Amino acid sequence: MSDNTRLRIAVQKSGRLSDDSIAVLKAIGIKLQIRDRLLIAHSTNQAIDLLRVRDDDIPGLVMDGVVDLGFIGENELEEKMLERKAANKKHEYKTLRRLDYGGCRLSIAVPNEMQYDSVASLEGKKVATTYPFLLERFFAEQGVNAQAVMLTGSVEVAPRAGVADAICDLVSTGATLEANGLREKDVVFKSKAVLIQKAKALSEEKQALVSRLLPRIDGVIQAKE
């Protein structure tokens, strides 16, 4: 284990949230030397270490208290929270800031030829998704009996492959849906990137550092608006 007096922050290693999350840290004056293959990056001017992992791992790392802070999409965060709650695992965290990037929506989409009036049209049907807990909560709220089918990839080809009747996937422009003969119908969850902190109190030194960083993050968010 590395030095526990240094503030540990989890960021997505490579993907849609990586560059913007690193940009926030750099914009608030944290000097980082990131070597592409390494899991850990040490700041050279602050007592901060970055843990670079898959975004799926970030909520659990924060909820288990393995890292102090994490940059994560609310979709992934809420899904993991529901999953861990159902499994009686630690699922608490604090949201420090909602950020101005990573915007997307988790939407239900159906094949062009399918009759769809409202979510009730999915009664008795199968819906492929990477977010079964968010989708099943939505079905429960809407009073619809439909089944979420878990797929970690290629969700958009599930209807054509005969694996599901419809899908529930992340959308930003809708181009992927269109390319696969699907129409976006209902928004299940709206998401942005957030900065979260573990539920258990930080040491005095670490908390003092976080308290110095947050106003600078606010400055960066405002500057972009």
User: Which residues bind to ligand ATP, rule: CB under 6 A?
Assistant: 12, 15-17, 54-56, 73, 75-76, 102, 104, 170, 172, 191
Interface residue with Zn ion among 41, 43, 49, 55 (CB under 5 A) is 55
Q: Which stretch binds Zn ion (CB under 5 A): 31-39, 56-64, 91-99, 194-202?
A: 56-64
Q: Is 83 an interacting residue with respect to Zn ion (CB under 5 A)?
A: no
- The least distance separating ligand ATP from the CB of residue 76, rounded to whole angstroms, comes to 5
Distance CA 133, CA 119 (A): 17
Residue 95 or residue 118: which is nearer to ligand ATP going by CB?
A: 95
CB under 8 Å, gap of 24 or more: what pairs does 133-136 form?
A: 133/79, 133/82, 133/83, 133/86, 134/75, 134/78, 134/79, 134/82, 134/106, 134/168, 134/188, 134/189, 135/106, 135/168, 135/188
| Of residues 7, 2, 25, the one with CA closest to residue 67 | 7
Distance CA 52, CA 27 (A): 18
Residue 56 or residue 83: which is nearer to Zn ion going by CB?
A: 56
Residue 65 or residue 174: which is nearer to ligand ATP going by CB?
A: 174
- The least distance separating Zn ion from the CB of residue 56, rounded to whole angstroms, comes to 4
Residue 49 partner contact from ligand ATP, Zn ion, none using kind-dependent CB cut-offs of 5 to 8 Å: none
Q: Which stretch binds Zn ion (CB under 5 A): 32-40, 53-61, 88-96, 111-119?
A: 53-61
Distance CA 39, CA 21 (A): 16
Interface residue with Zn ion among 18, 32, 56, 163 (CB under 5 A) is 56
Distance CA 33, CA 46 (A): 12
Would strands 104-111 and 166-171 be described as parallel, antiparallel, or unpaired? antiparallel
Residue 8 or residue 13: which is nearer to ligand ATP going by CB?
A: 13
- The least distance separating ligand ATP from the CB of residue 17, rounded to whole angstroms, comes to 5
Question: 9 with 70: CB under 8 angstroms?
Answer: yes
Question: Residue 175 contacts by C-beta under 8 Å, 6 or more apart in sequence?
Answer: none
Residue 55 or residue 136: which is nearer to Zn ion going by CB?
A: 55
Distance CA 155, CA 177 (A): 10
- The least distance separating Zn ion from the CB of residue 192, rounded to whole angstroms, comes to 16
Which positions lie near Zn ion, rule CB under 5 A? 55-56
